[in-house]
Structure 1
Amino acid sequence: AGRTDQGRARYAFEELTARIDAYLRTLPQAERAALRDGLGALPPETTDNDALLDHLAEALPAAVVDPLRPLAAT
C-alpha cells in the first residue's frame, strides 16, 4: 500500500531530523549547542519545506543540506 501525503511528510521529516542530528553529533559540544540553538530559531509559523531548507542552509554546510533537498520534496 502506498503512503499517504501525511505519511510521506512524516517519513521525510524523520529522515531530515536523523541526518541533521547525525551531522551535529560530529561537532564539538560548544559548536553543536550553538547550531542547535540556531536551528531552533526557525519561526514556528514556517511550514514550507523550501523555507526550512533555506533556514538550514544558513546554519549548515551545503554538503549537509543539499542531500536533504530530495527528502524535503516528498
Structure 2
Amino acid sequence: MHATATQPGDSSSTADLDSFTAIDTGGRNPAGSIGFFIAFVAFTWSAFQLYVSSSVPFWLAEELG
C-alpha cells in the first residue's frame, strides 16, 4: 500500500479538513427542550462536582450532625 504525504499548504487537505469539521460540528446545536435539557444536565453535573470537591459536605455533616 502506498501512502502519499500531503504538504501543510495543500489546498485539497485544507478543504477536506474544513469539510470534516463542518460535518463533525453540525449536530452540536440542539434547540428547544433538548438543548435546555443538555444544558441543565451539564450545569447540574458541574455543580455537583464542585460540591463534592469542596469542604461543604464536611461542613454540613458537622452542622447537621
Interval of TM-score (by shorter of Structure 1 and Structure 2)? 0.3 to 0.5
**TM-score computed with the length of structure 1 as normaliser:** 0.36
> Which structure has the higher relative contact order (CA within 8 Å, separation 6+)?
1
Max radius of gyration: which structure? 2
